[in-house]
Chains A and B, each alone.
Chain A
Amino acid sequence: MIETDNLTKTYGNVTAVEDLTLRVDEGEVFGFLGPNGAGKTTTVRVLTCLISKTSGEASIADYEVGNSADCQNIRKLIGLVPDNVGLYEDLSAYRNLDFYGRLYECPEAQRRERIEYFLKMLELWDVRDRAVRTFSRGMKQKLAIVRALIHDPQVLFLDEPTANLDPQFQKTVRDFILELKHEKRTIFLNTHNLDEAQRICDRIGILNTQLVAEGTPGQLMTSLEGRKTEVQLQQVTPAVTRALERLGLRYVVANGNTVVIDVNDPETENPGIAEAIVAAGGRVQFVTEKRASLEEVYLKLVREER
């Protein structure tokens, strides 16, 4: 659905995005992480035909980004929630949505139906005639998301949709994004919120001008230190450690009662490990998979790049 190939964008001597190659499939939620100034917003602006690319290729649904005729088709296919919500503060919520519905060429009946559907879904229907300037930040954010959906786009670009929202509104917006995911829309999500990315995204790309890592949240989390199994025992005895050594495993003992073991394939190795520990007289309390958190992976990759 979204493809880039060595996409590069420079502003004068400053390179905002360099050689970005990625692919986002239809119905996928792709999270784009990166520090401030990493090029996330620039990437979204290029992909949404707001600014030109310097070199490389990009396409959405086989329409070429940068080709002016194709850009008109791309704009019909996509919805954008920019980092600043950009609503007309003096107009009512309904008027804002109706205006964009017209520009997206939605027939009047469909426009009315969709405005009512989304405003009711996000509990904004009762305030539809109020000027947007009277709305809270969370209400504006929800309204901006509805605006991006008014023409039923296949692809949605969300730039920091939960930034500056309180936890309750963050959850509302996140739940709404999950609803959209279930509707099989392709979602390109720029975010600083690692927890959000981990919960919502099918795949994640970490950008720091260049793409430094890409994969499912699980792949990224195991990429840092490999896979590990953590076994908590009543007590780690010499017999237990000898049993692990006999299996040829690398391990460390933590807190006197926990062993953290490097494994390649925990699904096949863990039963043997548990058996060996029990046979050595160890009393197993918990067996869990130990992973680096997405935050650890992100921080390590971003620091390495610097």
Chain B
Amino acid sequence: MKLWKSWAIARKDFATFRTKRYIIYALVVPPLLMSIGLPTLIWLGFGSAPIPASQVPAAISALNHGLDSFSFLFVIIAGVLPISIGAYSIVGEKLEKTLEPLLATPTTDGEILLGKVIAAFLPSVIATYAGAVIFMALMNAATSTKLGYVYFPNWTIAAILLITVPLISILSTEFNVIISARVSDIRAAQQFGALITLPLGALFVATEVAFVSLTPASVAIVSAIILVIDVLLFFLSRATFRREEILTKWK
């Protein structure tokens, strides 16, 4: 596999995405809403009114739990952001009639798919990280006086951002690229691709009901499982990529 060919495909896609407003919005709006909206909620809930001394320990405990839960939301964001790009990847080429000349080049299925994965993965992770940085800064501003210390960054969010977010982004990207190679319009690809958020939502609920505690160790275990799925999905995407079917059966 010639990685530079995948990189060429990814660079071409980056240039294309820059001209597609809906992709830009899909990348920027969710992390921005979360990174500004959640600190605002916390500030409105805890920021103004003084907390009676007897309730301070419980309030701080609730705040700690809430902040950890919010941290996990970046995993969901990392799963959501590649949906638009990943859905566009193959079906977009087909709809714009660019797939035939692309497939006529001496480029393997693996090189094309890896290029598509990179093209969806990098902007999604960068947008997630940018959102996380804003989130941490605003959340610290909203909570540090109540807590008496700066909450972010900590080991849990570090593990989430540095390990889980990239892995879940790859998983979502691969899943969406597979979907994109199987359906014939972008909207259907996005709808099927959004299914990826269901297990992530379930995981979030599990952390909320304390079925799974959010610690660096549990994050590492979840990440290891996602890594295995990532590898399997890449091979699955290659195995299910049918050039002929895409060219002849899609209208």
Q: Which residues of A contact B (CB under 8 A)?
A: 11, 45, 48-52, 72-73, 75-76, 78, 80, 82, 84-91, 95, 99-100, 102-105, 131, 144, 147-148
Q: Is the interface of B mostly helix, strand, loop or mixed?
A: helix
Question: Does B221 belong to the interface (CB within 8 Å)?
Answer: no
List 17 extra interface pairs beyond A50-B104, A80-B104, CB under 8 A.
A48-B104, A49-B104, A50-B100, A50-B103, A51-B248, A82-B104, A84-B97, A86-B101, A87-B98, A88-B96, A88-B98, A91-B15, A95-B15, A102-B5, A103-B9, A103-B106, A103-B107
Chain B's closest residue to A84 (CB) is B97
- Which residues of chain B come closer than 8 Å to A87, judged between CB atoms? 98
Query: CB of B187 within 8 A of chain A?
Result: no
Q: Which residue of B lies closest to A73 (CB)?
A: B106
B:6-51 near A, CB below 8 Å: 8-9, 12, 15-16, 19-20
A100 contacts B105, C-beta separation under 8 Å: yes
Q: Which residues of B contact A51 (CB under 8 A)?
A: 243-244, 247-248
Partner of A86, one of B4, B9, B100: B100
B163 within 8 A of A: no
User: Could you show 21 A-B contacts with beta carbons less than 8 Å apart?
Assistant: A50-B100, A50-B243, A73-B106, A84-B100, A86-B96, A86-B98, A87-B98, A88-B16, A88-B96, A88-B98, A90-B16, A90-B19, A91-B12, A91-B16, A102-B8, A103-B8, A103-B105, A103-B106, A103-B107, A144-B101, A147-B101
A11 touching B100 in the complex, CB below 8 Å, given contacts A88-B12, A90-B19: no
Q: Which residue of B lies closest to A82 (CB)?
A: B100
Residue of A52, A75, A88 with most partner-chain B CB within 10 A: A88
Find chain A residues with CB under 8 A from B4 CB. Answer: 102
Residue in contact with A104 in the complex, picked from B9, B19, B103, B106, CB distance below 8 Å: B106
Residue B137 at the A interface, CB < 8 A? no
Q: Chain B residue with minimal CB distance to A144?
A: B101
A residues in contact with B103, CB < 8 Å: 50
Q: How far is A255 from B124 in the complex, measured between Cα atoms in Å?
A: 79
Contact yes or no, B244 A50, CB < 8 A: yes
Query: Which residues in B have some Cβ–Cβ distance to A below 8 Å?
Result: 4-5, 8-9, 12, 15-16, 19-20, 96-108, 243-244, 247-248
Q: How far is the CB of B181 from chain A (nearest CB, A)?
A: 15
Cα-based distance from A60 to B162 in the complex (angstroms):
50
**In the complex, A88→B248 CA distance in Å?**
20
Counting chain A CB atoms within 10 Å of each CB, the highest count among B12, B20, B99, B102 belongs to B12
**How far is A52 from B105 in the complex, measured between Cα atoms in Å?**
16
Residues of A contacting B102 in the complex (Cβ-Cβ under 8 angstroms): 86, 103
Determine if B247 and A99 form an interchain contact, defined as CB atoms under 8 angstroms apart: no
Could you tell me the distance between the alpha carbons of A147 and B104 in the complex, rounded to whole angstroms? 12
Chain A residue, CB-CB nearest to B96: A89
A102 to B8, CA, bound (A): 7
Pair B244/A86 contact, Cβ less than 8 Å = no
Task: Enumerate chain A residues within 8 angstroms of B98, measured Cβ to Cβ.
Answer: 86-88
User: Which residues from A are CB-within-8-Å of B97?
Assistant: 82, 84-86
Inter-chain CA distance A51–B103, complex, in Å, is 10
A91→B97 CA distance, assembly (Å): 14
**Contact check: which of A11, A73, A76, A147 meets B248 at CB < 8 Å?**
A11
CB distance from A4 to the nearest CB of B (A): 18
- With contacts A50-B247, A51-B244, A103-B107 taken as known, whether A86 is within 8 angstroms of B99 at the C-beta atoms is yes
- With A and B bound together, what is the CA distance between A90 and B96 in angstroms? 11
- Closest B-chain residue to A51, C-beta based? B244
Residue numbers in B under 8 Å from A90 (CB-CB): 15-16, 19-20
List B contacts of A95 (CB < 8 A): 12, 15
Q: How many angstroms from the CA of A103 to the CA of B12 in the assembled complex?
A: 11
Complex formed: what's the CA distance from A84 to B106 in Å?
20
Q: Tell me which residues across on chain A come within 8 A of B244, comparing CB atoms.
A: 50-52
| Partner among A73, A78, A84 whose Cβ is within 8 Å of the Cβ of B104 | A78
Q: How many Å lie between the Cα of A88 and that of B95 in the bound state?
A: 11
